[in-house]
Chains A and B, each alone.
Chain A
Amino acid sequence: MSTGWRRRDFLTVFGGGMAGIALSPLPWKLLDDAAIWTQNWSWLPRLPRGEISTRYGRCTICPAGCGLRADIVNGQAFRLTGLPNDPIGGGTLCPLGIAGHHLRYHPARLRGPVEGGRIEEGGTGRDADARSLPLDEAIARLAGWINELQDVGASQTIAILDARPGRLLSEIYRRFSASLGAHYIPARTGGFSSDVLHAMGSAPLPTLGIDLAGIRTLLSFGAPVLDDWGAPSCANQFDRYAGSAGEGTTSSAALLIQVETRPSATAQRAGLWLRNAPGSECALALGLAHVIVHEGLYDRTGTAGQLLDGDGDARPSSGDPLNQGAAVGSSALCGYRELLAHYPPEQTAQLTGISSATIRDVARRFATAGPAVAIPGQDPGGGPLDPQAQQAIWNLNLLTGALDRRRGFVSRRALPLPQRLADAPGGAVTSLSHVPDGSLRMLIVDGALPDHALPWELLTRKLARHGARLVSLSPFRSGLARHAALRIPAPAPLEFWEEVPTPWDAPTATLAIAAPLAEPPRGALHPSALLERIAKLLGMPSPGGDADYLMLLRERAAAVFLTARGHVHRGRDGRRVPLDDYDSAEAFWQELAAGGCWIDDADKTVARLGPARRAFLDPSQPTSWDQGIASAPSAAGYPLTLMPFGPRSMAGEEALPPVMAKLYRESHLRSSPEDVHVHPETARRAGVEDGLPAWVETPAGKRRFQVQTDPAVHPAVIHIATGPAPASFGDLPQEEYPAVLELLSPNEKGVWRMTPARLRPVEC
């Protein structure tokens, strides 16, 4: 017998050893520890150990500006929570706000200026060519570019796009633009547009807020009132509507009536959902007005009564008001009556897909179960309604007196400016749609995170075809900054003193201050300081009146203090303190800097249009009222209509707090922007299947999406969310993202709600 070790012996011992290892904790324990080891890599941000302190402030990710409490260790915020009973946030923070302190670590964060490529032929930016450059050099570069245009007398080809109008920074932008002779363009924001209403009146209207306390009938044309519309505390007023589903239109309880093609969260929770044919909001509003006027249900004591009945004392004794245009003698009103005559419920039913009985019921409810308001909604991703539809909806408010009483739309006072800015008014405001196509050679884009989407096509249309430069002040290399020739990053949210001016929906003026929770990187510069330095280099007057931004904020607080109106909601304990109780402007400022929020007294005046004959639809305008249908631009071979939508502050490709936004997305609370929602029958006809990829083609291009069938979707429509883009979380290179915004075809009015489209299966 041989005693030597044979190959078989080694294998046997090895087999025994493997069995023993498998029966020991060694592999499992090592696997577990290795997994934990990956959480502790040295380059991962780590929370410092130390004493925990608390500070109060404001979230500035979106314009609402909810109050927050920050828990801080060694100067680093590690937890954000809402302030109980905060007048804006209502005590909560949204998932983005909860993780707001993560934004500074976003993969797309810029820590200093970056020079990129030039925009050519409407193409995208070229990150491959990007290079970092020192801050001073970047400022000199931008000043040089502006100087070049000034020298050739082309200052009017420069524009500043303000992502969040209404701030003191916006005033600085306006003054800088005015000195330069450039355009100041405010971005679209808010949950409804009152631009059309302001244009309808013969006299200037005050700023409008909305007061929904006590409203019994809310007729929303696509506004996401039960989802992410308005400041949370305002939106909470709608909670009572959520439980009224099924009560019908004759209920005396408060009722939300949602007019929307898409089965949105608001539509599904509304007391009554009117699923209208795409683009038929105008026809429906006219049809409702027909019933209200025909049955004499309009408010005879207010503006509508004065206009439709003539003098308040000269009311028609009987008969159909639709045929009494001569009582006023206004051609516009005659035209309005003639127009409404074309929208009896039966005709409107054909246009809208809503039964004539429902149209009558809703019109009666809206006119008689008041206070009632109609909201011309605008979706953060889908954009505003067509101006015609907005005008028809505002007229519903005029008919029921919603602009003549302290319920619904109310006027509010403007925030006072610091004295040094009040003495030198800012320049004119230009709407993006009024900028001539191909006229801009330089566009400077503000760095605030926008709460609404802006299709790149809308901007490229305005830019000169050759040599146009886009300069981004965004703290991130995402969204519009992707296309920028020069990026000079501003501090990220919570890194600098910022102002929270009155939210668009607030019924009274408010002011809060967001104190910084962390230092910005050394390469970041606040836009106000940037414009100051450029103004100095170019020999222009200081746009901030020779004051830095913090000083201007203090001076605005002092100006508010001098009004001696309103009260302060204290951040640290939620107590309500009258403004009179503060000894000095400095004490008031300190309260604001500690998370306090000043709330003005209610403005007792109402938002009357006055003797506004122009307030009603004027069919003499060059518009096609005969159909009342805003249709997608016709294109042969595109049988469907693409209607995009998006959640507020996540409607585009802007950077978002990665952790919480990722959970938000994976929870399926929000539709993914990689999915296309279609009716099952539409999918069958197009030859595409649920869960499988399909091409969505429009005249602007094609992208690949995942099909999600839903019987609640209108058969003629496909819906795609505009955001949040995967790249918003730093997931994917932008090129792989199927951005629906790049498939849209905005019309000349800047409306992109509807684009002709078709579906095609992806060939294997």
Chain B
Amino acid sequence: MSRHRGKLMFLGGLIAALAVGWLGLPIVLYETIDQPLQFSHATHTGDLLGMDCEACHTFDEAGRFCGVPGIALCATCHEEALGDSPAEQHLVEAFIHPNLEIPWLVYARQPDNVFFPHAAHTVLAEISCERCHGPHGHSDRLRPYQRNRISGYSRDIWGSNIAGIASAPWDGMKMGDCSRCHRQRGIVESCQDCHK
């Protein structure tokens, strides 16, 4: 035993540190925040309504992507509660009737110094929404938002894996992910393309 004492000690320290780095860090680094309202994309895009993404996530007359729709668009259908789910009641009473915007926590929000034109990607390059956002448009619930306590950004930007190893094409929205896709498509890049 004493002959292996040093190795065991080293191994113990190694395993403990690995556990801290791989398992403990994500728990400590990210805080989990619930969305202000539950929303089912599946209900809207599924067979029942069959809406396209663009029905709510529109482009304005100048070609700019409008992002998450405002409460006015929700109110066109939900001026009065449709159904009796608690989320529906909450939507109507807390936001639509007082005409307050829903403070959504946007999983894909990029830093202010990043300029991302949706039109160039979805219209010109004809890239599907799923390429970057995955099956989000067919989810039945909004998963909790995980906020990085240091950087302040969503965990979706870094990716689900703490080491940044992507498990799917839409897993991660870092600059490296953008560059990788551009290289695959033979797009010549410069800093000014995104950092204007």
Interfacial residues, chain A to chain B (CB-CB below 8 A)? 1, 8-9, 12-21, 23-26, 29-30, 32-34, 36-37, 39-40, 46-47, 51-52, 54, 79
| A interface, over-half SS | helix
Give the docked Cα–Cα distance between A16 and B6 (Å): 10
CB neighbours of B13 from chain A (8 A): 12-20
Answer whether residue B22 sits at the interface, using C-beta atoms and an 8 A cutoff.
yes
**B14 and A1 contacting across the interface, CB-CB below 8 Å:** no
Size bracket, chain B contacts = 35 or more
* B150 and A36 within 8 A (CB): yes
Question: How far does the alpha carbon of A14 sit from the alpha carbon of B22 in the complex, in Å?
Answer: 18
- Once bound together, how far apart are the Cα atoms of A20 and B152, in whole Å? 27
Interchain nearest-CB distance for A630 vs B (Å)? 43
Q: Which residue of B lies closest to A14 (CB)?
A: B13
B12 touches A13 (CB 8 A): yes
Query: Nearest chain-A residue to B15 (Cβ)?
Result: A20
Q: Are B111 and A29 in contact (CB under 8 A)?
A: no
A52 to B2, CA, bound (A): 71
Asked if A24 and B164 make an inter-chain contact with CB atoms under 8 angstroms apart, the answer reads no
B11 adjacent to A25 (CB under 8 Å): no
**Inter-chain contact B17/A33, CB cutoff 8 Å:** no
Q: Check: B194 CB closer than 8 A to any chain A CB.
A: no
- CB atoms of A29 and B153 under 8 A apart: no
Interface residue B82 (Cβ < 8 Å from any Cβ of A): no
- Are B9's CB and A9's CB within 8 A? yes
Kindly list the 7 A-B residue pairs having the minimum CB-CB distance in the complex, ordered from nearest: A24-B21, A20-B17, A16-B13, A26-B21, A16-B10, A36-B151, A13-B13
In the complex, residue of chain B having the shortest beta-carbon distance to the beta carbon of A19: B14
Chain A CB within 8 A of B187 CB:
no
Is there an interface contact between A20 and B111, defined as CB atoms closer than 8 Å? no
Cross-chain contact B21 with A16 (CB below 8 angstroms): no
Q: Is the CB of A24 within 8 A of B2?
A: no
Does B113 count as interface, using CB distance less than 8 angstroms?
yes
A30 touches B150 (CB 8 A): yes
Q: Which of A12, A23, A34, A46 contacts B112 (CB 8 A)?
A: A46
Residues A24 and B18 in contact, CB atoms below 8 Å apart: yes
Verify if B163 is at the interface (C-beta below 8 Å from A).
Answer: yes
Considering the complex, give the chain A residue whose CB is closest to the CB of B162.
Answer: A25
Contact B151 A20 (CB under 8 A): no
CA distance A25 to B28 in the complex (A): 13
A547, B114: Cα distance in complex, Å: 45
Given the complex of chains A and B, what is the CA–CA distance between A25 and B29 in angstroms?
Answer: 12
A47 engages B17 (CB within 8 Å): no
> In whole Å, how far is A76's beta carbon from the nearest beta carbon of chain B?
12
- Could you say which residues of chain B place their CB within 8 Å of the CB of A29? 25, 29, 158, 162-164
Distance in Å: Cβ of A514 to nearest Cβ of chain B: 22
| B24 CB, min distance to chain A CBs, angstroms | 9
- In angstroms, Cα B6 to Cα A36, docked, is 40
Q: Which residues of A contact B162 (CB under 8 A)?
A: 25, 29
A23 to B11, CA, bound (A): 13
Contact indicator per residue, chain B 47-61, by CB within 8 Å of chain A (1) or not (0): 000000000000010
> Which chain B residues lie closer than 8 Å to A25 at the CB level?
21-22, 25, 162-164
B16 near A33: Cβ-Cβ < 8 Å: no
What would 27 A/B residue contacts be, using CB atoms closer than 8 Å?
Answer: A9-B9, A12-B6, A12-B13, A13-B9, A13-B10, A13-B12, A13-B13, A17-B13, A17-B14, A20-B18, A21-B20, A23-B14, A24-B20, A24-B21, A25-B25, A29-B162, A33-B29, A33-B148, A33-B151, A34-B150, A36-B150, A36-B151, A36-B152, A37-B152, A39-B113, A40-B152, A54-B62
CA of A24 to CA of B163, assembled, Å: 8
Chain A contacts for B196, CB-based, 8 A: 79
Report if B141 contacts A (CB, 8 A).
no
Cβ–Cβ < 8 Å partners of A24 in chain B: 17-18, 20-22, 25
| B-side contacts of A54, CB under 8 Å | 62
B25 touches A26 (CB 8 A): yes
| A35, closest chain B residue (CB) | B151
CA distance A40 to B10 in the complex (A): 39
Give the chain B neighbours of A13 by CB distance below 8 A.
9-10, 12-13
Q: What is the minimal beta-carbon distance from B34 to any residue of chain A, in angstroms?
A: 20
Contacting residues, chain A, for B138 (C-beta < 8 A): none
Decide if B150 touches A21 in the complex (CB within 8 Å): no
Task: For the complex formed, measure the closest distance between the CB of A669 and the CB atoms of chain B, giving whole angstroms.
Answer: 14
Evaluate contact between B20 and A33: CB separation under 8 angstroms. no
User: CA separation between A37 and B18, bound complex, in Å?
Assistant: 25
In the complex, the answer to whether A18 meets B17 with C-beta atoms within 8 Å is yes
B5 within 8 A of A: yes
B143 in contact (CB, < 8 A)? no
Contacts of B9 in A (CB 8 A): 9, 12-13, 16
B residues near A16, Cβ cutoff 8 Å: 9-17
**Which residue from chain A places its CB closest to the CB of B13 in the assembled complex?**
A16
* 20 additional contacts (CB under 8 A) given A20-B21, A25-B163: A12-B13, A13-B10, A15-B13, A16-B9, A16-B15, A19-B13, A19-B17, A20-B13, A20-B17, A20-B18, A23-B21, A24-B20, A29-B25, A29-B162, A29-B164, A33-B29, A36-B150, A36-B151, A37-B152, A52-B64
